[in-house]
Amino acid sequence: MEDIAKSGIELDIRVKETFRINVKHPLRKKSKEGWNNFGRYRYLIESLFGNIKQKLGSHFSVKNQEIAKKMGLAVFAIYNMYLLVIFFFLITTLFLFLIA
């Protein structure tokens, strides 16, 4: 935790605390505050990547790490396009339903 704090990254690691044992170390207190502020967003981000992996696969059969990074970004862009198409289809369908 000290190395992370020295590098300037904000701490938001979940710290175990019970009704008998309180957090005493200052870095752990800071980490607990960060978790309370930003921890709830972690599950939203992880669910997004989990959905992408389920829809499009989680492994890339490539030889080079650079190609894998580019392929991952391409898959992310394709998934976003997929969501846009679904969104516009639903909006169009709703619009046509309301007109009729």
Higher per-residue pLDDT: 70 or 50? 70
CA 73 to chain centre: 15
Report residue 89's pLDDT band, with 50, 70 and 90 as the boundaries.
confident
Q: At what angle do helices 26-56 and 65-99 cross, to 10 degrees?
A: 70
Has residue 12 got a pLDDT over 80? no
Tell me if the pTM is above 0.85.
no
